């Protein structure tokens, strides 16, 4: 089966919270999950990664068989319906999410290849959370997700930024919004109101920030100067 855009989008297309890892997406999705209409934004890397670079949809039976091995899918409680074609199988995950949470605004968090998602959800909305790349690099190195060096960490941020630039070329401005992590931490109520208006839900219902999920910025000094030079060279 050739990869083609589905016809009409779902009646309630999902939104996707996108950005590089260590950019604060976990913080934002936890905050949004406290809204009475917004579902939990599970991490859903296993959809975009399955179609990136492919000319045909994955075989639904093989995909459904292998999905439980993916940690994020296993912890989500979803069931992959192998009787559906791949695009419908992916959309059905959001139907399950709405039913499980009892909420109508469904979303997911994706860090990699998120520009591929419009092939399945042409009407989706996107929230891009960007963090200073020096802080992303520092955090990736500290967590061991970047082979222990800033050069590899910079590639993580660059790959996500490239995906966002490709996505911006596909999606009209009315269906995308950009936030900065630093603004979210400094003025959470203002930034959350922006997101709620974008999603078409009541504002003022989520106003607090779980401080234990925020990370310190790289302070000015020799270390920040070195990170700046490395990031500029990598870019």
Q: Residue 6 pLDDT more than 50? A: no
pLDDT of residue 121: 97
Q: Residue 7 pLDDT more than 90? A: no
Q: How confident is the model over 199-223, as a mean pLDDT?
A: 59
3-state secondary structure 22-62: CCCHHHHHHHHCCCCCECCCEECHHHHHHHCCCCECCCHHH
pLDDT of residue 5: 41
Q: Over the stretch 142-168, which tens digit does the pLDDT of each residue have?
A: 888 877 788 888 999 999 999 999 999
- 8-state DSSP, 76: H
User: Could you tell me the pLDDT band of residue 209, with boundaries at 50, 70 and 90?
Assistant: low
**Beta carbons within 8 Å of 214's beta carbon, 6+ residues apart:** 24, 27, 185
- Sign of the alpha-carbon torsion through 22, 115, 184, 210: negative
Q: Does domain 15-133+159-211 have CATH number 3.30.70.580?
A: no
Distance separating alpha carbons of residues 195 and 145, to the nearest angstrom: 29
pLDDT of residue 3: 45
Q: Are 179 and 127 in contact (CB under 8 A)?
A: yes
Q: Over the stretch 112-124, which tens digit does the pLDDT of each residue have?
A: 999 999 999 999 9
Tell me the pTM.
Answer: 0.83
Give domain limits for the chain.
15-133+159-211
pLDDT of residue 143: 86
Long-range contacts of 114-119 (CB under 8 A, 24+ apart): 114/16, 114/18, 114/48, 114/163, 114/164, 114/167, 115/163, 115/164, 115/166, 115/167, 115/170, 116/48, 116/51, 116/52, 117/16, 117/47, 117/48, 118/5, 118/167, 118/170, 118/171, 119/3, 119/5, 119/51
Question: In angstroms, what is the C-alpha Rg of the chain?
Answer: 18
Q: Over the stretch 17-76, which tens digit does the pLDDT of each residue have?
A: 999 999 999 999 999 998 999 998 899 999 999 999 999 999 999 999 999 999 999 889
Provide the edge-to-edge strand list for the sheet that holds 42-43.
42-43, 107-110, 15-18, 125-130, 176-180
Return the structure tokens found at 17. Answer: 């919270």
Q: Over the stretch 162-184, which tens digit does the pLDDT of each residue have?
A: 999 999 999 999 999 999 999 99
Q: Residue 227 pLDDT more than 50? A: no
Which helix H or strand E contains 226, and what residues bound it? helix 222-234
User: Could you tell me the pLDDT band of residue 205, with boundaries at 50, 70 and 90?
Assistant: low
Picking from 44, 193, 218, the residue whose alpha carbon sits closest to that of residue 131 is 218
């Amino acid at each position: 089966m050739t990869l083609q855009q589905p016809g009409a989008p779902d009646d309630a297309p999902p939104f996707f919270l996108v950005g590089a890892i260590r950019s604060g997406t976990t913080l934002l999705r936890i905050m949004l999950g406290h809204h009475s209409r917004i579902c939990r934004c599970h991490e859903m890397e296993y959809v975009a990664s399955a179609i990136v670079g492919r000319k045909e949809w994955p075989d639904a039976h093989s995909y459904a068989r292998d999905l439980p091995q993916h940690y994020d899918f296993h912890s989500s409680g979803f069931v992959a319906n192998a009787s559906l074609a791949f695009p419908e199988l992916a959309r059905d995950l959001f139907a399950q999410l709405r039913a499980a949470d009892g909420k109508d605004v469904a979303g997911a968090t994706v860090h990699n290849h998120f520009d591929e998602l419009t092939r399945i959800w042409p009407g989706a909305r996107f929230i891009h959370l960007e963090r200073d790349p020096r802080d992303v690099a520092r955090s990736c190195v500290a967590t061991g997700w970047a082979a222990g060096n800033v050069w590899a960490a910079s590639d993580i941020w660059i790959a996500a930024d490239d995906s966002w630039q490709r996505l911006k070329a596909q999606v009209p401005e009315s269906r995308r919004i950009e936030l900065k992590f630093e603004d979210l931490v400094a003025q959470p109520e203002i930034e959350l109101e922006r997101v709620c208006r974008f999603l078409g839900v009541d504002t003022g219902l989520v106003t607090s920030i779980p401080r234990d999920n925020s990370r310190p910025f790289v302070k000015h000094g020799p270390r920040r100067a070195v990170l700046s030079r490395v990031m500029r060279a990598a870019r």
